[in-house]
Copies of this chain bind each other. A is one copy, B any other.
Amino acid sequence: MPAPNVIPLNLTSLKAACSQCNLRELCLPYGLTEDEVAQLDNLVGARRKLKRGQHLYRAGDPFEALYAIKIGFFKTDILLEDGRDQVTGFQMAGEILGMDGIGTEVHTCNSIALEDSEICVIPFPQLEHLSREIRALQHHFHKVMSREIVRDHGVMMLLGTMRAEERLAAFLLNLSQRFTARGYSPQEFHLRMTREEIGSYLGLKLETVSRAFSRFQEEGLISVHQKHIRILDNAGLKKLLSHQPG
């Protein structure tokens, strides 16, 4: 029988957003002490479930919170008035969505679930408040934002200097590496997005993406069955990246 000052386990875990979460080390609580994570628990209010295809937020929505992906897979995209659009990123469990909205207090892109997903709502004013108290949280949040900038630079590099097959190889290697960090197989995974979405992200048409997949398969680099990808020759894909254009 527990002592009166011991809170029954299931009662805490109901509230505990972060302290019981297995993504802790990939997400915002990284590097915090137990006590500090407990403070984050109080901040991370609601969870929200999204069905595949549902918007988490839309361009133009007022910015109020960041979102940590607990389960699922998202894309962000920008839609121009003339109908052109571009996928700006794909996000998976442990990654933070919504930082685009801080600067203007309005979201500048759309965030859409590519599979049934669940996210944790992190109200931004409260995150800033807690960041002023917890140094490690502040610093880690800055790192998360900075890494997003560096990631974007990588995409600029890809779009600005790489040819179609190099882009796709870089994309696959990046996904593989992120799946690995989440405990999934580096060689085998399921694409959650269509060829068109991949193309939009990589600045290519869907036919070009499809042709590149076929070519990789012919060359024995990967095997493709629809959205199921198996990487057969990791080194071969990497080699594609380090070759001169032309």
Which A residues contact B (CB, under 8 angstroms)?
78, 80-86, 88, 99-104, 108-109, 128, 131-133, 135, 138-139, 142-150, 152-153, 155-157, 159-161, 200-203, 242-245
Contacts of A108 in B (CB 8 A): 150, 153
Question: Would you call A103 and B146 a contact (CB within 8 A)?
Answer: yes
Question: Would you call A78 and B153 a contact (CB within 8 A)?
Answer: yes
Nearest B residue to A76 via CB reads: B153
For this chain, the copies found in one complex come to 2
Nearest B residue to A161 via CB reads: B84
With both chains docked as a complex, state the minimum distance between the C-beta of A131 and any C-beta of chain B, in angstroms.
7
Most buried by B among A86, A144, A160: A160
Nearest B residue to A109 via CB reads: B153
Question: Would you call A99 and B146 a contact (CB within 8 A)?
Answer: yes
Which listed residue, B145, B242, B244, touches A102 by the CB 8 Å rule? B145
